[in-house]
Structure 1
């Protein structure tokens, strides 16, 4: 009985696999159905690791939405390599780990529905200004490449105004710019961690909500370094081995910032009260693993919205109300707030 059941399941899987037309023999194609009575379907195609002997473009089903072409040693990406039936319906495309050194200006031009693009773990040093022209991109992974300079203006040719998240971590970046020339760049998230930036890059005017500058050789954060990034909600400046100073008013333009991560900056020893000026919306401040072991007195006056602060190796402070006292003239109980810490004797 068990043997018959196993044979039946095997035949069923074989029939389902064979039902996906135009699936390349080296690929695995799977149809995903959605909606009432499975009225809507998308095809996911996995062609990882086919090897350099397979010529591009390969044959894929006409309704392919997700295509994984990673680890195929493709080399330079030419106009013809992503052309043909099935490619025009792609929503996501994985081209990681392909030894890509160059992307032709028109190589992606036919992918009019592409929202997610993974070009990580390649050998890219530059991109054509028009390589993303007409694409409705929402996520672009360019991490683990060889970029030394990068201009965010490459995303100005996007076909829609939907925000895009960009990962440029683990490159060799020494310069990042945003050449606007009156154009709008709808970029909401940028990861610049593990690069060679020695100062905070000027990205004034971008509607960023998330920015990661971790593990860069930044020596000093200067006054106004984050100018015109008023939409920023999350900022991580962690693991900067050479950071020794943050000038007063460095964060003064970040009135909507809610989370600030300054952890693991061992050479950063102290912070003046003016460093925190303008951070009216800040709720979480992380200074764990840094050289900062104390903070200016009366921190609540500088950070009116703060809920938690982490210091040293294991000092956690959180906002609490003092026991209410009855005010005779006002006829009501007054509550004062302060930061209490899990280490005795520390009250901010």
Structure 2
């Protein structure tokens, strides 16, 4: 195809490409799906979504992408040798992935099996997917993953496992993913993580742990993710953030801690040492009433923090070193029951734009 596109780019091209090749259109009509043809290369993307399909149609050799989402497909049979790059089967009724079913799809880059009824996957399920970079297994019924379950997908960059029944994460099934940079572990009921769980993922920079059952930040586990830049921990039942919570993830740039239902306190030193932090989101924490003066230490002339969100909490006062705190690009303090006393005197020194001077609180 010349320069290779990312899997997500196919969906954008569907909006702008036109179908003019008669042979390609005939192939699409046989399949019973709408078709987008890329005339310059003679390749096709089949749109089979929302067609009440019970099985996948027979695919022509020129098909590089298939969207068969929102159907009633319950069984996936072995694919013939194809140049398929994108396969979207989300929102179907698939309960099993037979061994070797994708073995002939060596060029497949994106596989979406989310929102199905899959209860088990083995290494043999993904045999042949040596080019796969995105795998979405969100909202299935997975309870246990086999060791080295992803050993056939060494180029995987994005793994989405949210909304399954895993309850625990094992480093054995992550060990074969050296290219992984985005791991979604939301809504799994997790309470803890093994301390070295991410040690074999040298490129992992985005971890999503939102909507779990963590009562404290899994600090030792996160410390094993040496390249971690973005952490999402929204909607976890954590009461207090301490000086130990993030002490060992010094490379972090974005920290998302919003919508914590019982978060009350941010202690002294909670974010000290995060010298690369650019975004800190503590918004929509309805019980957050105390942030220690030394929770964040910003050295003069060395302020990397650009955005600070403290809106819609339960804060009545906030004592900071005014000059450095006012240097952030975004300071959102809306929706708090502020007491306008000396603890907020530092705000007077902030040089906000005239149109914002009466609106920042």
Q: TM-score range by the shorter chain?
A: 0.7 to 0.9
Which is richer in strand? 1
Q: 1:227-246 residue pairs with structure 2 within 5 A?
A: 227-246=247-266
Size of the aligned set, in residue pairs, is: 306
Matched, 1:298 2:321: yes
Matched, 1:97 2:115: yes
Q: 1:109-120 residue pairs with structure 2 within 5 A?
A: 109-120=127-138
Moved more, 113-122 or 41-50: 41-50
Q: Give the secondary structure class of the aligned counterpart of 1:312.
A: coil
Length-normalised TM-score, structure 2: 0.74
Alignment RMSD: 3.3
Matched, 1:311 2:325: no
- Equivalent residue for 2:57? none
Report the CA distance between 1:218 and its aligned residue: 1.0
Report the CA distance between 1:129 and its aligned residue: 2.9
Return 5+ residue gaps in structure 1 as ranges.
1-10, 316-336
Length-normalised TM-score, structure 1: 0.76
Which of the numbers 251, 274, 295 marks the counterpart of 2:294? 274
Which of the numbers 193, 199, 203 marks the counterpart of 2:216? 199
- Equivalent residue for 1:56? 77
Report the CA distance between 1:26 and its aligned residue: 6.7
Report the CA distance between 1:190 and its aligned residue: 1.1
Give the direction of change, closer, same or farther, for the CA distance of 1:140–1:275 in structure 2 (3 Å limit). Answer: same
What per-residue deviation string (whole Å, max 9, x for no partner) do you get for residues 116-136 of structure 1? 111111111232231122421
- Equivalent residue for 2:245? 225
- Equivalent residue for 1:154? 173
Q: Give the secondary structure class of the aligned counterpart of 1:276.
A: coil
Q: Write the distance in 1 (CA, Å) between the matches of 2:132 and 2:35.
A: 19
Q: Give the secondary structure class of the aligned counterpart of 1:15.
A: helix
- Equivalent residue for 1:3? none
Give the direction of change, closer, same or farther, for the CA distance of 1:55–1:149 in structure 2 (3 Å limit). Answer: closer
Which of the numbers 311, 314, 339 marks the counterpart of 2:350? 339
1:29·1:43 contact (CA, 8 Å) conserved in 2?
no
Q: Write the distance in 2 (CA, Å) between the matches of 1:72 and 1:123.
A: 13
Instruction: Please tell me whether Structure 1 or Structure 2 has the larger radius of gyration of its CA atoms.
Output: 1
Return 5+ residue gaps in structure 2 as ranges.
1-18, 45-62, 338-347
Q: Write the distance in 2 (CA, Å) between the matches of 1:269 and 1:191.
A: 26
Q: Write the distance in 2 (CA, Å) between the matches of 1:182 and 1:70.
A: 31
Report the CA distance between 1:199 and its aligned residue: 1.0
Q: Give the secondary structure class of the aligned counterpart of 1:306.
A: coil
